[in-house]
Amino acid sequence: MSFRARLLALEALLLDGGMGSALIARGLKLGAPPESWNLERAEDVTAVHRLYVDAGSEAIHTNSFGANPLRLGAYGLADRCEEINRAAVSVARAARPRFVIGDVGPTGEYLPPLGRGDIESWRAAFERQGRALAEAGVDAFHLETMSDIREAQIALESLLRVAPAIPVMASMAFERKKRGFFTVMGDPLVASLVALAEAGATAVGANCNLTSDDMVALMTEAVAAVSMPLVAQPNAGTPELAGDGSFRYAQRPADFASDMAAIARLGVRAVGGCCGSDDRFIAALRMALPRNEMERE
């Protein structure tokens, strides 16, 4: 079964959880690019992937969230973009999941007047990363943690341009405000999801920023407004800054799983975790999903 067919099936697709915090626990220094470990510590990256596969993840994300040349350039790694992305797919495949999703994050830049980003450099960056991931054999892309719908649309169009046959899930990072859910750039929930759907995404949704209970509220609104596959990956609670500069997440896996199972019952087609979640959260979610969700093929 192809990824697209699996996503459109009746059963919720179980994704994975966070990668960065897992690598930090294995020795990645704060502020260092996690993607460099695809080359330097490939065994550790594969080990994290394997934990998720063993916990029940049917599809895992490559360790390539920040592997576009603009973000890699901050570490002097722009010229290794293709090498890093190809390695990301290889180390993910080594964990033997059913599907490998090419993870694509934002450039980290903003358009004027907030920053110096420009559309053409964004387009070139996303095309370069997308082409490398596609050539390495990903089953799908996940464009995630976008806060500016303009950048999200450019990224989506770029991925579809270099690999039109590969499905793309597209997620924005929303915050809960008194008036509803908005990105930090002010993009509203429904309008953002509709824009991504119209731009050609196979699935749309939200990840990061929100807790699982807030994600229940967001997805309740999204299900009522969007008639296409939805994806949800909240954080494992609200982060607290630790003394070493890292963040700690206090939510229990069982509480996270309960909320995410409720989201699956709404009809959301792909569920998993983001920052702070690990294989314990995915294992708990696997057990909490409606029984037929996990048994039907």
Per-residue pLDDT of 49-98, as tens digits, reads 999 999 999 999 999 999 999 999 999 999 999 999 999 999 999 999 99
Q: What is the DSSP letter of 177?
A: E
pLDDT for position 293: 43
Q: What's the confidence (pLDDT) of residue 296?
A: 43
**Mean pLDDT, range 170-180, rounded to an integer:** 98
Strands 239-241 and 247-249: antiparallel
Q: Is residue 25 part of a domain?
A: yes
- Token couple for 281: 């959260």
What DSSP letter does each residue of 30-83 carry, written as one string?
TTS-GGGHHHH-HHHHHHHHHHHHHHT-SEEE-S-TT-SHHHHGGGT-GGGHHH
279 contact partners, CB below 8 Å, separation of at least 6: 17, 51, 52, 54, 55
Q: Tally the domains of the chain.
A: 1
* Helices of type H across the chain: 3-8, 20-25, 37-40, 42-55, 69-72, 81-93, 119-136, 149-162, 189-198, 212-225, 253-265, 279-288, 291-295
pLDDT at 175: 98
Within-domain flag for 295? no
Residue 12, in any domain of the structure: yes
> pLDDT digits over 253-272, tens only?
999 999 999 999 999 999 99
For 268, the domain range is 3-290
Domain-located, residue 247: yes
Q: Is the pTM of this model over 0.75?
A: yes
What average pLDDT does range 106-134 have in this prediction? Answer: 96
Q: How many CA atoms lie within 13 A of 76 on its CB side?
A: 1
Q: What is the CATH number of the domain that holds 177?
A: 3.20.20.330
Classify strands 99-104 and 140-146 as parallel, antiparallel or unpaired. parallel
Q: Is 274 part of a structural domain of the chain? A: yes
Q: For residue 297, is it within any domain?
A: no
Identify whether 157 is part of a domain: yes
Q: Is residue 97 part of a domain?
A: yes
